[in-house]
């Protein structure tokens, strides 16, 4: 399962295991990731586009604070 998560996030397994800030996912996030992996590729693509839009918006707001 960790290998699949690393692949989904395009990071190494070591990166996830070392306990860095980006690797500290809570249980709810892990469950969401597992559910996303079960979706068809088109649905995953749409979902990731929506997520990317929200992340970009968040980062932009943070930059102007």
* pLDDT tens digits along 42-61: 999 999 999 999 999 999 99
Q: Are 44 and 36 in contact (CB under 8 A)?
A: yes
User: Which residue ranges make up each domain of the chain?
Assistant: 2-63
Q: How far is the C-alpha of 47 from the C-alpha of 60, rounded, in Å? A: 20
Task: Extract the tokens encoding 13.
Answer: 């397994």
Q: How far is the C-alpha of 51 from the C-alpha of 45, rounded, in Å? A: 10
Indicate if the pLDDT at residue 9 is higher than 90: no
pTM score, whole prediction: 0.56
């Amino acid at each position: 399962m960790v290998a699949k998560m690393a692949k989904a996030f395009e990071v190494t397994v070591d990166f996830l295991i070392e306990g860095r800030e980006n690797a500290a996912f809570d249980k709810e996030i892990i469950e969401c990731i597992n559910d996303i992996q079960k979706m068809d590729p088109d649905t995953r693509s749409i979902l990731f586009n929506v997520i990317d839009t929200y992340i970009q918006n968040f980062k932009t707001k943070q930059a102007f604070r």
